[in-house]
Structure 1
């Protein structure tokens, strides 16, 4: 096959692992640390928000937010994230990855702080302000998905590219873990100072005024890691693939990568013009040529991410309710507000430590050995199996003394989500599409995932308005109970198995080999979709 490979891109593909690779992982990864902290941290404070602003003394679950309020607080950031993924994904292909990269980070920093400063004269006013800032927080987070994945894929060599992109995404695990640990520390500090016996009121009604500071501090802490990496993001040069293949500036691409790789790289402007002016490389996103070459790929990446996030975000956002349903955490009416926050944070931190974080790093270690396709397929299959293993004998697991077995199996679903589709759905869209459409297509795929997350947060929670409270499981959304919810999530994972068959394997191949950007028109017209 005729190839017109650029020297600068070949140098990147064959480069040995160097310090700049690790620097890029940390710079991009801290954005995902912040993303996970902000997106999942809200589930830790929703109970506290309910205790402070919507306390109903006669309720068996004091402080449970009304379903419409809970849906808004949990889901509004996902709506912002979806919007940001589409907008910044498109902008990253139009303006360049680096120019847009700093915008997303500053938006995250400002809105994290503003979320903690939410104001209002009434409970609904505070929640409305919080939702406003969390929408824009999500908008910034959304931009981080396509930009970080694209930047890392375009910086990495083809031998270890999967591991590098996975390492960026794996920082999510540390963000989830940090969210739990921060909540534990702050809850413990305030609990020991302000929430100690003797109580002036019934223990279950015990919500000290200082509790209003706790949720605000937890949310504002998310600004710190993002702010710390802003300077280094601005110091990163634009990726050579964007500079050469999209901006058509061979001189700048060679100069930037010569500095990064510390080798002399030849400037090849004539070859850049030949590649970029080739008719095979000029089709648009909505063209017949794109759908012929990459239409099934885009369907596969969007569908898998959509189905995965229905299950993944439902599990993460509502695990506190599941823990109560199986009696791992005491009922809310037996604890003070800060006691409840402390116990929820401790439980979620344990799950993250034992299941979530190891799953991410198993992917980092094995993705360039096993391949993306097989890891994603295995992940969906095992998640389906463990969900069914929890759902079918559900009443056995909720019997006193059996909840430890439930927790172990539940942790395994998180392990195989992260050593599986939660990682690979992020990696593959950054590898298989042309450079001029790469960020856009990744944004579309990620936005499909967030549409699934919205279904998992809004859909399941909002249906609680119509539930028969006398028969519903404790606090679990949708009125269909924990058991039936697990069956629904198992079905989503099973569908993910079939849509994985549309996703090509990119292990060991260059980005241009996957996208066909170095082929001429006759080769492109005869090319079959890679698998």
Structure 2
């Protein structure tokens, strides 16, 4: 066969490989690899869920840790230091989302997942063992910030690596229910990380007591080491999803053509994610501080208990969004969720002085605002980012969208304390309402609705677009065992046909 024939520049060329009757030429080892590939898809979906629980835990770990640090290190833990430590994870996440997004497209989904797991484990170990030189509290807090940054690179990398793998595996095995399945193994477990972190904190606090708060926060950080280790073995054994094995572009990636074709959905996913994280992340990180300023006794245990209720109220929104994403559509569900920010943000913001005097009512409305965020942009942004782009650049575009979102989170976290101090606590909720309006507009004009679409269809359109624009390169994951076995078998068939001719 000629060199040109070996280059697969269209989806049709790739699809031609499995269309050949290669069963007669395969040996039992090929059948074993086919079985491994089928099982790997389910393991990939399950591993994404267990891996992202770890991310949700790490994202919410600082909620109660902020309260503890303010009590332990009242003089040193100023608003500036608090923001630095809280933002460390975000800065790391932005780096991880961009670079691991590129890695999972150029090298492979499996390599990216293994790297992210190792980084989370290393960062969590360092945070647990953090100490300042000569007992310096300032040094301790800098150590924690650096360790959280390393953890953040791993956590951020999980977004494109786990989410793209899960969407591709779900498309392969359960295409009709891809949306709800994707939501349950991504945003649900990320959201569940909030109540999980508070539950762990309460259990450790009950065991150690409020007189041993340093032990409490170190144990909570240490438990964050165990969660990613639960999926490490399965990630080492997994194969990349079939869509990636067939449609990956590892060399001469046509990024300019990608921008020309997908600039509109990129604005939509990046812009909406920025607005969502600008609101939801600082409200999550500082919700413990907000609650402790509202409740009467201000104790750490009471704050944690109210925080747990807040997280529990926010969770049902995930299920509502999963139920609506197919019949109501991805884009409409996201618009509905952003509208919840407008409604509940204004209710809390405009009546802040009165509603905070009734703590249960305040927690309920606060939880409903976060629940509407989970239902709409929380659920849909990952799903839409995984569906709007072809397999070859899915990790890159997903990672970029998530990174822009975390940039919004970092800016929101940085701005939260100045807004609270200069404008008042009510304005943190009024600004959330304003972001809800902006989110509705960005979603309506820029976000595509691909409800029910097969991910392989966009791969066909993308490769045809490349061919029409003169791009000529190799498509497919040459490094994958299963794909390589298929190509070898197909090659044997081609040789026999040539000999007969």
TM tier relative to shorter chain: 0.7 to 0.9
In the alignment, is the contact (CA less than 8 A) between 1:183 and 1:342 conserved in 2?
Answer: no
Could you tell me which residue of structure 2 aligns to residue 318 of structure 1? 286
- Report whether the alignment pairs 1:341 with 2:300: yes
Would the alpha carbon gap of residues 521 and 484 (structure 1) be closer, same or farther in structure 2, given more than 3 Å must change? closer
Q: 1:371-450, aligned counterparts within 5 Å?
A: 371-399=329-357, 402-450=358-406
Other-structure match for 1:296: 264
* Correspondent of 1:459 among 415, 422, 428: 415
Query: 2:316 touches 2:371 (CA, 8 Å); kept in 1?
Result: yes
Report the alpha carbon displacement of residue 522 of structure 1 after superposing the two structures with TM: 9.9
Structure 1 residue 24 corresponds to structure 2 residue 44:
yes
Alpha-carbon separation, structure 2, partners of 1:329 and 1:377: 37
Would you say the 8 A contact 2:11–2:459 is kept in 1? Answer: no
- The answer (yes or no) to whether the contact 1:29–1:171 under 8 Å persists in 2 is yes
Corresponding residue for residue 162 of structure 2: 148
Q: Distance in 1 between matches of 2:119 and 2:292?
A: 35
How far did 1:297 drift? 0.5
Matches within 5 A, 1:133-212: 133-157=147-171, 158-169=175-186, 170-191=188-209, 195=210, 208=211, 210-212=212-214
* 8 Å contact from structure 2 (residues 183, 322) kept in 1: yes
The answer as to 2:487 corresponding to 1:487 is no
Alpha-carbon distance between aligned partners in 1 of 2:158 and 2:196, rounded to the nearest angstrom: 19
**Map of 1:363 onto structure 2:** 321
User: Which residue, out of 254, 263, 266, partners 1:284?
Assistant: 254
Q: Which runs of structure 2 are paired with 1:47-126 in the superposition (5 Å)?
A: 47-55=67-75, 65-120=77-132, 121-126=135-140
When residues 480 and 516 of structure 1 are mapped into structure 2, their CA distance, relative to the original with a 3 A threshold, is farther
Distance in 1, Cα, partners of 2:321 & 2:100 = 27
Cα separation, partners in 2 of 1:163 and 1:9, compared to 1, 3 Å: farther
Question: Could you list the per-position Cα deviations for residues 399-441 of structure 1 after superposition, in whole angstroms to 9, with x for gaps in the alignment?
Answer: 3xx3322221111111111111011111111111122211000
Alignment CA distance shift 1:238-1:69 (3 Å): same
1:228 pairs with one of 211, 221, 230:
230
CA contact (8 A) 1:329 1:344 kept: no
CA contact (8 A) 1:166 1:423 kept: yes
Aligned to 1:520: 464
Partners of 2:17 and 2:66 in 1: how far apart? 50
Summarize the Cα distance change of 1:8–1:130 in structure 2 as closer, same or farther, 3 Å threshold.
farther
Does structure 1 conserve the Cα–Cα contact (< 8 Å) formed by 2:168 and 2:241?
yes
CA distance in structure 2 between the partners assigned to 1:522 and 1:217 by the alignment: 52
In 1, Cα distance between the equivalents of 2:18 and 2:178?
Answer: 14
Secondary structure, aligned partner of 1:520:
helix
CA offset at residue 330 of structure 1? Answer: 2.3
Aligned 8 A contact 2:341 2:432 in 1: no
* CA RMSD, Structure 1 to Structure 2 (Å): 2.5
> C-alpha separation between the residues in 2 aligned to 1:391 and 1:52?
31
Alpha-carbon separation, structure 2, partners of 1:303 and 1:245: 27
Q: How many Å separate the matches in 1 of 2:120 and 2:109? A: 17
State the Cα distance separating 1:22 from its structure 2 match: 5.2
For each residue in 1:141-188, what CA deviation from the matched residue of structure 2 results, as whole angstroms up to 9, or x when unmatched? 010000111101111233111122211211112211110101111111
Separation of aligned partners in 2, 1:406 and 1:9? 58
Aligned counterparts of 2:268 and 2:421: Cα–Cα separation in 1: 28
Aligned to 2:439: 496
Unaligned runs of 5+ in 2: 1-9, 20-37, 470-501
Q: What is the CA distance between 1:77 and its match in structure 2?
A: 0.6
Shift of 1:521: 4.5
SS at match of 2:450: coil
Please, which of 430, 448, 451 is the counterpart of residue 507 of structure 1?
A: 451
Runs of 5+ unmatched residues, structure 1 = 11-17, 56-62, 196-207, 249-275, 277-281, 332-339, 465-476, 526-531
CA distance in 2, matches of 1:303, 1:164: 25
Give the structure with the higher percent helix. Answer: 2
Q: How many residue pairs were aligned?
A: 434
* d(CA) in 2 for partners of 1:177, 1:221: 15
Tell me whether 138-147 or 36-45 shows the greater mean CA deviation.
36-45
C-alpha distance in structure 2 between counterparts of 1:387 and 1:241, whole Å: 41
**TM-score of the two chains, using structure 2 as the length reference:** 0.81
Relative to structure 1, is the Cα distance of residues 482 and 518 closer, same or farther in structure 2, using a 3 angstrom cutoff? closer
Q: Please say which of residues 159-168 and 90-99 is displaced more in the overlay.
A: 159-168
Instruction: Give the direction of change, closer, same or farther, for the CA distance of 1:515–1:478 in structure 2 (3 Å limit).
Output: farther
Equivalent-residue separation in structure 2 for 1:184 and 1:9 (angstroms): 54
Give me the whole-angstrom Cα distance separating, in 2, the residues matched to 1:72 and 1:8.
53
CA shift in 2, pair 1:516/1:480, >3 Å: farther
Distance 2:258 2:466 in 1: 15
Cα separation, 2, equivalents of 1:507 and 1:19:
26
- TM-score (ref. length: structure 1): 0.77
Q: Deviations over 1:113-136 (max 9, x none)?
A: 211110112110100111111000
What's the CA shift string for 1:180-235, capped at 9, x where partnerless? Answer: 101111111222xxx5xxxxxxxxxxxx3x32111110111111121111001111
